[in-house]
Amino acid sequence: MINKVTNYLASIGVDFQLIRHPAVVTTEESRKVIHVEGCMSCKSLYVKDKKSDNYYLVVLPFDKRADMRGLASYVGVAKFEFATEETLFAHLGVHRGSVSPFAFLNETDRRAPLLIDAEVWNAPKVKFHPCDNTATVILSGNGLKKFLQSIGKRVVVVN
C-alpha cells in the first residue's frame, strides 16, 4: 500500500517525504516517533451515521477531541458512531491505526465524504500514514488538497 500511495502522489505531481519507522497505532505514539517541525499531526476516524448506512472519514488535529454530535451536524445527521474494524477494511482496505485520507485510493463503490478540521485544512504541512502504520508521508497542505481534488473527493471543512 505504501507504494500505491507514493506512486499516486508522484503521478499527480505532489511533492512528499516518506519516512519509515516502527509500527505505531495512535497519533500520540506517532508524534514520539516522527516529529517534523511545523507539521500538523492528524488523526483519521472512519464513522457512520447512527441511523443510516452513510459513512464519513473525519480528520482532526491529533489532540482534538472528536465531538461526534457536532461533527455529524455538518452533514445534517444526529450523531456518528465509529465504524467496525470489518467495515473499515471492507470499505477502505485498512485496519485501525492505518486510516488516513490516502485510504480513499481503495474505495470502490462507496464515496465517503471527508470532514476535515479547519486547522488541518489550513496547515502548511501535514502527515499521514500511507495506509500502513510503519511509514509516514509528509506533504504540504496544498499537496493534500491537490490529492483530494484529483480523486474527486467531497470535502467539508469543519470548525
CATH number at residue 33: 3.90.960.10
Angle at which helices 141-150 and 2-11 pack, to 10 degrees?
90
Q: What is the grid cell recorded at 113? A: 465524504
Mean pLDDT score across all residues of the chain:
90
For residue 72, the enclosing domain spans 2-158
pTM: 0.89
Say if residue 127's pLDDT is above 70: yes
Domain count within the chain: 1
d(CA 108, CA 14): 23
Which H or E run includes 126? Answer: strand 125-128
Least confident range from 24-28, 109-113, 148-152: namely 24-28
Q: How far apart are CA 123 and CA 97, in angstroms?
A: 22
pLDDT, mean of residues 27-54: 83
Predicted confidence at residue 36, as pLDDT, reads 79
Query: Tell me, what's the pLDDT at 29?
Result: 73
Residue 137 bridge partners (DSSP): 18, 128
| Mean pLDDT computed over 37-42 | 88
Written as one letter, the residue type at 25 is: V
Q: Please give the pLDDT value at position 110.
A: 67
